[in-house]
């Protein structure tokens, strides 16, 4: 086995792949809420992805990647036996796993993969874990069996009603609380508008909200300032101070603006990549 080697690749749906990678030192040190920065080739982009699972004994880490732009398309075209060039981590501050009592764990799209290690750690610490999983449609809903295994209750929702409850995660969360469940803390990961509205609803329902922020990251070590976000009116670096923050004072609108700043360049990079047919990090 080689360092950074893909030992297993599994397709979860058309755009999401799961990779089990040999990376013993990261597997030994990883904690819930942390991430790694991947690079596929020399000169390639540095891409932050969450540590979804790890096995210190086997020396493996698991990451789940959604193809969204040039680098993630390239990563997802790698095969079992291929290697990532670098894997830097574990990075970020682990989520404080305390005994909160009843907790809500909310994941949207690939955010379900990102919230899974938090649900698992909360459950292991003795919390009641109520999970709400959301996706646009049935095919995009991932890790339901894994989330059920670490949750006391799991509700899956799809926007189009093709699976589970029809509607948004916020509708499901409101329903759970209105049915009498008293929840103390809530952890949400997904698209930024979903985290914004879920956090707002949690405050309304008396749940202390936490959200994991995904600004553009470069070095991942607090040096470049690319990942700055505003929390409690102060500048914080998501890569070292987060990515999970208490959500009641996060400036979500600023985050939406800043993550959208490179949209044109990102589109151009994908169309150039498609034109060149370089879809395997130059390996094939």
Ligand X SMILES: Cc1cc2nc3c(=O)[nH]c(=O)nc-3n(C[C@H](O)[C@H](O)[C@H](O)COP(=O)(O)OP(=O)(O)OC[C@H]3O[C@@H](n4cnc5c(N)ncnc54)[C@H](O)[C@@H]3O)c2cc1C
Q: How far is the CB of 225 from ligand FES (least distance, A)?
A: 5
Q: Pick the closer one to ligand FES by CB: 24 or 226.
A: 226
Q: How far apart are CA 57 and CA 37, in angstroms?
A: 22
Q: Pick the closer one to ligand FES by CB: 26 or 227.
A: 227
Residues 262-281 that bind ligand X (CB under 6 A): 266
Residue 145: DSSP 8-state:
H
Residue written as token pair 């990883």: 30
- For the chain, what's the residue count? 284
Q: Pick the closer one to ligand X by CB: 208 or 266.
A: 266
Q: Could you give the string, one character per residue 239-268, with x where binding to ligand FES holds by CB under 6 A and - elsewhere? A: x-----------------------------
Q: How far is the CB of 258 from ligand FES (least distance, A)?
A: 12
Residues 26-85 that bind ligand FES (CB under 6 A): none
Largest CA distance in the chain: 56
Q: Which of 217, 250, 255, 281 binds ligand X (CB under 6 A)?
A: 217
225 binds ligand FES (CB under 6 A): yes
Cβ burial of 122 (10 Å; 0-12, 13-18, 19+) is buried
Q: Which of 222, 254, 257, 272 binds ligand FES (CB under 6 A)?
A: 222
Question: 91 to each of 25, 37, 110, 126, 168, how far by Cα in Å?
Answer: 13, 8, 19, 26, 31
Residues 13-72 that bind ligand X (CB under 6 A): 35, 45, 47-50, 64-66, 68-72
- Give all strands (DSSP E) within 2-68, no chain letters: 6-11, 16-22, 35-39, 47-50, 53-55, 60-66
């Amino acid at each position: 086995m080689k360092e950074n080697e893909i030992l297993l690749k599994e397709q979860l749906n058309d755009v999401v792949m799961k990779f089990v990678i040999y990376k013993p030192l990261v597997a030994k040190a990883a904690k819930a809420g942390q991430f790694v920065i991947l690079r596929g080739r020399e000169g390639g982009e540095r891409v932050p992805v969450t540590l979804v699972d790890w096995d210190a004994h086997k020396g493996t880490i698991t990451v789940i990647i959604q193809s969204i732009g040039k680098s993630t398309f390239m990563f997802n075209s790698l095969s079992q036996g291929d290697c990532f060039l670098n894997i830097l981590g574990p990075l970020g501050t682990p989520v404080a796993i305390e005994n909160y009592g009843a907790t809500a764990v909310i994941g949207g799209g690939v955010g379900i993969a990102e919230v899974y290690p938090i649900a698992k750690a909360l459950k292991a610490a003795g919390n009641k874990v109520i999970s709400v999983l959301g996706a646009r449609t049935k095919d995009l809903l991932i890790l339901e069996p894994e989330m059920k295994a670490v949750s006391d209750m799991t509700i899956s929702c799809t926007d189009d009603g093709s699976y589970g409850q029809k509607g948004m995660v916020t509708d499901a969360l409101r329903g759970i609380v209105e049915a009498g469940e008293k929840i103390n803390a809530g952890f949400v990961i997904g698209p930024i508008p979903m985290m914004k509205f879920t956090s707002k609803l949690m405050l309304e329902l008396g749940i202390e909200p936490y959200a994991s922020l995904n600004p553009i990251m470069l070095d991942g070590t607090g040096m470049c300032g690319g990942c700055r976000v505003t929390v409690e009116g102060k500048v914080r670096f998501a890569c070292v101070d987060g990515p999970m923050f208490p959500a009641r004072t996060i400036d979500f609108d600023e985050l939406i603006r800043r993550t959208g700043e490179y949209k044109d360049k990102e589109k151009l990079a994908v169309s150039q990549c498609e034109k060149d047919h370089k879809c395997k990090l130059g390996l094939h």
